[in-house]
Amino acid sequence: MTDIRLEKGPSGAGGIAFTKLQGNGNDFVLIDEHDRVAVADPLKPSFAVECCHRNFGIGGDGVLFLSQSDHADLRMRLFQPDGSEAEMCGNGVRCLAKYAWDSGMVGRSFDVETLAGIIPLKVRGIGGDFWARVDMGVPCFDRPGIPAVGEGEFLMEPLEGFEVSAVNTGVPHAVIFVDDLLDLPIDEVAPFIRHSPLFPEGANVNFVLVGEVFQVRTFERGVEGETLSCGTGSVASAAVARKMGMVDDEVFVETRGGPLLITFEGDEAYMDGPASTVYSGVLSDEFHWDISQEL
C-alpha cells in the first residue's frame, strides 16, 4: 500500500488551511482553492475519504472545494466520504456561500457552478444568523433525467415494501411517505432502495412524515448513512408532495439538524436555510492519505 504525506508549506503543519462549516448539522470541510490548487484533482477523492473520517480525520459529510469559475462567480466541487463526487448539495452550497460571504468574495447575490449546473443564491441575515436562498431549479420527474429505469414518471411505485417516488433535485432522490419516523430503522431498510437496480447511479432515500411541518430523514448516497439534514432531499420531498397535491407552494421542513423552507414559484424550487462556521485550522504534517488507488 502506498501513501503520501502532505508537503510542508510555508506555514508548517502541511500548509493546507481548511474551514469546517455546517448547514443544519450537515457538516463539511471546505478547502479554498480560489487562488491556488491545494489538492491535485487525482488526489481529491482519497483526500476526502481520509479528511471526512470522524476518528482519523477532521470529520464531515463531505469536502467542498471552492475555486474560480469561467461560467459563474464561484465553482463548487463536493467529494463525499466514500471518495465519490456529488453533482450538487443544497446544504453544502449554503456552507460555501457562508464562507465566500465572510471572505468578501461575493455580494448578496451570486452564482455557483456545480456539476448540476449554475446555482443562483441570495444571502441574508435572520436574527443575527446567516441564511441563504438557493434557486434549486426545476425538479425532474422524468425517469431518464433522474436517472431511473423505464419511461415516464416514477410516482408511488412498490419497492422493497414501500411506496416509492423518485425525482432529481440536483441529485437523484427516492421519496417515501411514512406514518412513523421515530422507530424506523433507516440504516437497515434504506440501502436496499439506495442500491436498487432501478437507479443506475444510485439514489438518496428520504423518509417523510407529512404534517403542518414536514419531518424528513435522509439516507445519503456517498455518505452511506443517515445525515442530520439533506437540502436536496428536503426539496425532493416537498416537490413530490406538491406533485401529488398534498401541499401548496410553501413547505416548512424539519430535519434532524434544523429547519428549511422550501418554496415554489411556478415550476422553480427554492430552498432557504442557515449555515454557520464551526472552526478553521491548518492540516498537520502528520495528516496523510492513501493514494494507492490513484497511482
pLDDT digits (tens, 9 = 90+) for 217-238: 999 999 999 999 999 999 999 9
Q: Confirm whether residue 231 is marked as ligand binding.
A: yes
Residue 96 region, left (φ>0) first, then alpha (ψ -120 to 50), else beta? Answer: alpha
- Please say if the pLDDT value at position 181 is more than 60: yes
pLDDT at 126: 82
Q: Confirm whether residue 215 is marked as ligand binding.
A: no
- Please say if the pLDDT value at position 11 is more than 90: no
Q: Confirm whether residue 55 is marked as ligand binding.
A: no
Give catalytic status of residue 89 as yes or no: yes
Q: What percent of the chain has pLDDT over 90?
A: 88
- Please say if the pLDDT value at position 66 is more than 50: yes
For the chain, what are the domain ranges?
3-136+276-290, 139-266
Secondary-structure class of domain 139-266 per CATH:
alpha beta
Q: Confirm whether residue 206 is marked as ligand binding.
A: no
Q: Confirm whether residue 80 is marked as ligand binding.
A: yes
Among 52, 89, 95, 140, the active-site one is: 89
In sequence order, what are the residues at sequence separation of 6 or more whose Cβ sits closer than 8 angstroms to the Cβ of residue 184?
Answer: 178, 207, 217
Among 51, 52, 95, 230, the active-site one is: 230
Average pLDDT over residues 243-262: 96
91 grid coordinates:
446544504
pLDDT at 295: 32
Band (2; pLDDT cuts 50, 70, 90): very low
- Please say if the pLDDT value at position 69 is more than 90: yes
pLDDT at 23: 97
pLDDT at 288: 72
Q: Confirm whether residue 220 is marked as ligand binding.
A: yes
Tell me the average pLDDT of the chain: 92
Average pLDDT over residues 262-283: 97
* Identity of residue 103: S
Q: Confirm whether residue 91 is marked as ligand binding.
A: yes
Residue with cell 476518528: 55
- Please say if the pLDDT value at position 12 is more than 70: no
pLDDT at 70: 96
Q: Confirm whether residue 221 is marked as ligand binding.
A: yes
Query: Would you list the DSSP string of 248-262?
Result: -SEEEEEETTEEEEE
**SS3 of residue 191 by DSSP:** helix
Give catalytic status of residue 51 as yes or no: no
- Please say if the pLDDT value at position 14 is more than 80: no
The residues that bridge with 272 in the sheet, in sequence order, are: 133, 261
Distance CA 191, CA 253 (A): 23
Query: Would you list the DSSP string of 73-106?
Result: SEEEEEE-TTSPEES--HHHHHHHHHHHHHTTS-
User: What is the pTM assigned to this prediction?
Assistant: 0.90
Q: Confirm whether residue 226 is marked as ligand binding.
A: no
Topology match between the domains 3-136+276-290 and 139-266: yes
Average pLDDT over residues 203-207: 98
pLDDT at 293: 39
- pLDDT, tens digit (0-9, with 9 covering 90-100), for 95-152: 999 999 999 999 999 999 999 999 999 999 888 899 999 999 999 999 999 999 999 9
The CATH number fitting domain 3-136+276-290, selected from 3.10.310.10, 3.30.10.20, 3.30.2040.10, 3.40.50.300: 3.10.310.10
pLDDT at 6: 35
